[in-house]
């Protein structure tokens, strides 16, 4: 009987043949915490009588969610993290280095076949590198830090077969929003998603991260893809390590399979206040916006900034719109400067904030006011997500966000491409 990608990765990490619905205790290759979850994990680590982390080279904390600190409460928690990292001697990515889900892939520590836990729900992002990576809470994180292990229920797999070619002006963000709208916010709960097909193969590695990142928004434990030359080319920029790709067997058993033809897909938006409240951009085109956010672990990569700059070049952001750009990492920020992308964005009127999560989680960097509407490239539009429960958030691709920033209303980006 064949195995899915996730069954194979778990098998190679638990010393037995793992099958869906079994409980296994598996070795983890990397463990990550961020400033929203690590402070509680430090408490749990002490509560567990933890002494040392299991491997100094396989652990990192990232200060990205509320960075630099906007108030003394956050500062105290950041200090707690810095002191813990110094004492236990492992890697800290401090303010300005970027979003955890860009930094861990850039570290070169994670690749095809890896098993990663991170105390952040969007840890599923590294599935785009053919790794099983998943989000956990702070107590699980502490258990991982101490033992280098985690227990898992081996998930069933939901295979998404994406055929056809994405039309111009339609991007991987539009595709994943469409899929989430189709299966809903709990359509893949407790399951691993596998995204396959010619439309996935045609995407750049950066565009694939966007899809894997949002697997959690359909409830999935992982968002997996196969590795190919693009994956290895991307990894070789960061590491000389060799990774062996994990491929599903032809007779692997899937709980669900759904096929799509993406050739007629239109740009999509997720409307307030749920990620699965998805519609073609035409349904809401013309709605005035006051803020536009380009960035986050979903869409803050170089390609995303380049797409937006292509639309904003030699044009000005609408006077009623605040456009905020948060590059996903310092490296991306530097690359975007070298390419002139930052120059273009700033000249168009965008405000650049520190590489990191930006205003996505509502702690700083652009909290909307009552009654305002935000269009954002992030992954969540829950009421209050950006710090004000009387504001509305629409999620869209970098192209749709840039086009909307220009016109001051939600706009189909194909008008500008």
Partner 1 sequence: MEFSGKAHKFGNDVNTDYIISGKYKFKTLDMKELAKHVMEDLDPDFYEKVSSGDFIVGGSNFGCGSSREQAPLAIKYADVSAVLAKSFARIFYRNAINTGLPVVECDTDQIDQGDEIVVDLAAGVINNKTKGNTIPIKPLPAVMIKILNDGGLAAHFRKFGGFNFG
Where does this chain bind partner 1 (CB under 8 A)?
A: 23, 25, 35-37, 39-40, 43-44, 47-50, 65-66, 71, 73-74, 77, 119-121, 123, 135-140, 142-143, 146-147, 149-151, 153, 185-186, 189-190, 216, 219, 221, 274, 361-363, 367, 380, 382-385, 387, 389
- Residue 252: name the closest of 231, 224, 221 by CA: 224
Q: Write down the least CB distance from residue 86 to partner 1, Å.
A: 19
> Would you say 216 or 332 has its CB closer to partner 1?
216
Q: In angstroms, what is the minimal distance from the CB of 377 to partner 1?
A: 18
Lookup: tokens for 118: 């991170």
Q: Closest approach of Cβ 406 to partner 1, in Å?
A: 29
The C-alpha atoms of residue 171 and residue 168 are separated, in whole angstroms, by: 8
Tokens of 363: 């702690």
Cβ atoms 132, 220 nearer than 8 A: no
CB nearer partner 1, residue 46 or residue 244: 46
Residue 5: its H or E element: helix 5-14
**How far is it, in rounded angstroms, from Cα 269 to Cα 404?**
12
Nearer to partner 1, 85 or 214 (CB): 214
Q: Minimum distance from CB of 305 to partner 1 (Å)?
A: 24
Least distance in angstroms from the C-beta of 286 to partner 1: 28
CB 381 within 8 A of CB 290: no
Instruction: Give whichever of 81 and 262 is closer to partner 1, judged by the CB atom.
Output: 81
Q: Which is nearer to partner 1, 66 or 373 (CB)?
A: 66
138 Cβ contact partners less than 8 Å away, ≥ 6 residues apart: 33, 37, 38, 39, 40, 41, 43, 44, 119
Q: How far is the CB of 124 from partner 1 (least distance, A)?
A: 11
CA distance 417 to 406: 13
What's CA 88's distance to the chain center, in Å? 28
> Is the CB of 119 or the CB of 401 nearer to partner 1?
119
């Amino acid at each position: 009987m064949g195995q899915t990608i996730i069954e194979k990765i778990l098998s190679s990490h638990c010393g037995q043949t793992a099958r869906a619905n079994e409980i296994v205790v598996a070795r983890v290759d990397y463990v990550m915490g961020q400033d929203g979850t690590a402070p509680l994990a430090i408490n749990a680590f002490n509560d567990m009588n933890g002494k040392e982390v299991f491997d100094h080279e396989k652990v990192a904390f990232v200060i990205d969610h509320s960075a630099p600190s906007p108030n003394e409460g956050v500062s105290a928690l950041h200090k707690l993290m810095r002191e813990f990292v110094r004492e236990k001697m492992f890697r800290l990515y401090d303010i300005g280095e970027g979003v955890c889900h860009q930094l861990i892939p850039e570290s070169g520590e994670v690749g095809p076949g890896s098993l990663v836990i991170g105390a952040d729900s969007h840890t599923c992002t590294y599935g785009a590198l053919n790794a099983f990576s998943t989000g956990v809470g702070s107590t699980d994180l502490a258990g991982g830090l101490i033992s280098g292990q985690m227990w898992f229920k081996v998930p069933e797999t939901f295979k998404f077969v994406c055929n056809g070619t994405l039309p111009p002006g339609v991007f991987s963000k539009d595709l994943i929003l469409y899929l989430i709208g189709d299966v809903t916010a709990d359509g893949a709960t407790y399951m691993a998603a596998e995204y396959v097909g010619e439309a996935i193969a045609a995407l750049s590695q950066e565009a694939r991260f966007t899809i894997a990142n949002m697997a959690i928004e359909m409830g999935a434990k992982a968002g997996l893809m196969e590795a190919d030359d693009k994956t290895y080319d991307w990894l070789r920029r960061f590491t000389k390590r060799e990774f062996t790709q994990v491929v599903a067997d032809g007779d692997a058993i899937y709980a669900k399979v759904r096929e799509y033809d993406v050739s007629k897909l239109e740009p999509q938006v997720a409307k307030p206040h749920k990620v699965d409240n998805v519609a073609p951009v035409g349904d809401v085109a013309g709605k005035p916006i006051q803020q536009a956010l380009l960035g986050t672990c979903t869409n803050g990569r170089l390609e995303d900034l380049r797409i937006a700059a292509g639309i904003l070049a030699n044009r000005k952001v609408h006077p009623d719109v605040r456009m905020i750009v948060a590059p996903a990492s310092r490296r991306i920020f530097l690359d975007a400067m070298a390419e002139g992308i930052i120059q273009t964005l700033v000249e168009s009127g965008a405000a650049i904030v520190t590489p990191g999560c930006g205003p996505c989680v509502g702690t700083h960097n652009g909290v909307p006011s009552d009654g305002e509407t935000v269009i954002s490239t992030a992954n969540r539009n829950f009421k209050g997500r950006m710090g004000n429960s009387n504001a509305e958030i629409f999620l869209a691709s970098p192209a749709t966000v840039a086009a909307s920033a220009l016109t001051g209303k939600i706009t189909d980006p194909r008008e500008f491409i």
